[in-house]
Amino acid sequence: MKNRKISILAALLVAALLLAACPQPVPVAETAVEAPASDAAVQGGVWVEGSSADATILNPILASDSASFDVLGWFFPSLLGQDPFSGAIVPTEMAESWDVSEDGLIWTFHLQDGVMWSDGEQVTADDFKFTYDAIASDLVETPRKANLDNIASIDVLDLLTIQVTYEEVKCDALNNLGLGWLPSHLYAEDFSDVMDSPLNEEPAVSAGPFIFNDWIRDDNATVLRNETYWKGAPNMDGWIYKIVPDAGARLAQLQTGELDLIGVQPEQLTTVQLNPDLNLHKFQDDGYSYIGLNQANPENPQAGQDEDGNLVEQDPHPILSDLAVRQAIAHALDYDTIIENVYLGQGYQIAANVLPAVGWAHDPSLEPYAFDTGRAAQILDDAGWTDSDGDGVRECNGCATAEAGASLTIRLQTNAGNTTREDLGALVQDQLNSIGFDIQFEAIEFGTLVGELLGQTFDMVIIGWTGLGTDPNDDSFWHSKFDTPGSGFNFVSYQNARIDELLEQAVSVPGCAAEDRAPFYQEIQKIIHDDIPYVFVTGSVGNTGYSKKFNGTDPGPWSFYHNVETWSLAQ
């Protein structure tokens, strides 16, 4: 059971906001080279991870926050494993192999024999079926209902064989099968106790490397070695999840040894690097930061499609629907300075929506927009945005989209409390204003921002995606069917029939071979790059600081703990 924690996380959070920094993704440089483990593993020791937020519920189908998965990830088996270094789906968890029917619709999974819950019951196909049936049940309030989309049936062929039948070929369909399995023998058959079971707070059994011990809310959660773990019991006695909300306090506790692992903020890097007792794990996170440009009029948000799936013509944004304005913005930003000074070097410029980490789909030939204020100003001049009254702000004098005389005034928002984004906002405001924009920047509370964002009532927003996973399918950001005010994630109201078509084709290629899907994604990247619904600011880089207390740590970008059972206390 290699990469247990992150495999579940990655499958679930295919894209949650950059807000919660969950350790994940593709190495820039492997920094930590450990002393080779001595012959005999040393028993004992405890690893303490620091977290800003506490878990909320320890049930894999009810939880929706990364902190909960950090803890419950130790207990519940899952169907598919994930390579800790490449992120590829691998048969390292319950499924030891699988076959696919010729039409690509029927997947048959063969399970590991002899995997036991810690109370002695065997983990079987029934647990898998119970879990997915529970999600379907009306008695269960879960945010995971969409995991069942496109699944026609789940059949238990025998205790160790599961057959999943899909309605249509969808190349990223396996991502929906990553949820942790509930121990079906401890729940009522009709799912009536799933919501209120005491197991949601004290999971009694585990099939992972640790078993639940204790959870003091907002303080700490502790787990103990599972002596019967099927990959071999860990050497360490246990693992503690300690809640330390303040980032400065977390760093202090890492320095004093009260914590063994924290996510390191860019401004804290030097402290960790200079400390001889600490290691630093640096990796390309599977996310990026961007400035979303609303293509539609924020005063009149409309859905992208009508009920029959026909495109609905949008009321265009008076300024941002002008491609020239978007190009000017993309050229007016000094990306090197931003990455150096705002992200303190923890980032890299990207050209479009597929990250280099997804090597087969990424188009390396696409050049990111170059910083060139002269060119940006020229584009605005040519497009009829000129400063005719000499007040330093351009007005529409023959521009394509706005009324004559309208000034180039745009709101820019981000979530307050995220200092990196607040700094970026100030810098973007400064750089755009210097070429004749009038940017009104404000940082607002996250919950409020989410409302504006999904309500499509914003002009420009600084935000990010994280947990994008290894599949390049990101149709929820671009497809017109996800342009639904109040809920859809194509909140920039991007509308392009060709993109809709490409996104659909790319996930339904017969056979789903990478080389067959790649051309679609390359064309998508080209179009997104040229149309600029997002100004891509930087790809994310994550940093984890951790103690040298144990030998054998081998952090991968997709999982820090994938080989935790082999760690051995350093003498």
Partner 1 sequence: MVRYVIRRLLQAIPTLLGVSVISFVLVYNSPGDPILIRTFDPNITQETREILRRQLGLDQPWALQYIGWLTGVTLRNGDVVAEFGRQDTRCSFAAALNTTFCDNGAGILRGNLGTSIATNQPVWERLVERMPATFELSVSALAVSLLVGVPLGVLSAVRQASLFDGSVRVLAVVGNALPSFWFGLMLIFFFGVVLGWLPTGGRRTVSLTNEFDLLDRVRHLILPTIILAFGGIAGISRFMRTETLEVIRTDYIRMARAKGVPANRVWFIHALRNALIPLMTILGPTIFGVLTGAVIVETIFSWPGMGRMTFSAAVQRDYPTVLGAVMFFSLLTILGNLLSDILYGVVDPRVRL
* Residues near partner 1, by CB under 8 A: 12-17, 46, 48, 53, 56-57, 62, 64, 138-139, 141-147, 149, 192, 195-196, 200-201, 213-214, 216-220, 222, 224, 237-238, 240, 242-246, 248-249, 252-253, 255-256, 258, 445-448, 450-452, 454, 476-477, 482, 484, 486-489
Tokens read off for 72? 């419950």
CB of 194 to partner 1, least distance (A): 11
- Closest to partner 1 by CB, 484 or 543: 484
Nearer to partner 1, 138 or 313 (CB): 138
Q: Bridge partners of 111?
A: 95
Q: Indicate the residue among 168 and 340 with the shorter CB distance to partner 1.
A: 168
Strands (E), 432-517: 438-444, 460-466
- State in angstroms the smallest separation of the CB of 220 from partner 1: 4
Q: Transcribe 200-261 into DSSP letters.
A: GTS----SSSEEEEEEETTTEEEEEE-TT-TT---SSSEEEEEE---HHHHHHHHHHTS-SE
Name the minimum Å distance from CB 211 to partner 1.
12
Question: Considering the complex, what minimum distance in angstroms separates the CB of residue 416 from partner 1?
Answer: 11
Smallest separation (angstroms) from partner 1 to the CB of 436: 32
27: β partners: 283
- Tokens (6 digits) for 569: 């206390």
Beta-strand runs (E) in 310-349 = 347-348
Q: How far apart (Å, rounded) are the C-alpha atoms in residues 360 and 364?
A: 10
| 308 versus 367: smaller Cβ distance to partner 1 | 308
Using the Cα atoms of residue 146, residue 151, residue 157 and residue 160 in order, give the sign of their dihedral: negative
Cβ 31 to partner 1 shortest distance, Å = 23
Helices (H) and strands (E) in the chain, counts: 13, 23
Q: Which is nearer to partner 1, 64 or 505 (CB)?
A: 64
- Min separation Cβ 547 and partner 1, Å: 15
Q: At how many degrees (to 10) do helices 323-332 and 373-382 cross?
A: 170
Question: Closer to partner 1 at the Cβ: 85 or 477?
Answer: 477
- Edge to edge, the sheet with strand 151-158 lists 95-100, 106-111, 161-166, 151-158
Closest separation in Å from C-beta 185 to partner 1 = 21
Q: Which is nearer to partner 1, 102 or 196 (CB)?
A: 196
Q: Which one, 401 or 540, has the nearer CB to partner 1?
A: 540
The CA distance from 539 to 350, in Å, is: 6
Quote the least distance from Cβ 450 to partner 1, whole Å: 5
d(CA 47, CA 254): 12
Nearer to partner 1 among residue 130 and residue 477 (C-beta): 477
How far apart are CB 65 and partner 1 at their closest, in Å?
A: 8
Phi, psi angles (nearest 5°) of residue 501: -65, -45
* Residue 241 or 369 with smaller CB distance to partner 1: 241
Phi/psi of residue 33, nearest 5 degrees:
-110, 115
Residue 304 or 384: which CB sits closer to partner 1? 304
Question: Cβ distance 280 to 31 under 8 Å?
Answer: yes
Q: How far is the CB of 217 from partner 1 (least distance, A)?
A: 6
CA 222 → CA 7, 53, 235, 260, 367, distances in Å? 21, 15, 16, 14, 48
DSSP string, 389-437: SSSSS-EESS-SSSPTT-B-EEEEEEETT-HHHHHHHHHHHHHHHTTT-
Helix (H) or strand (E) holding 525: helix 514-531
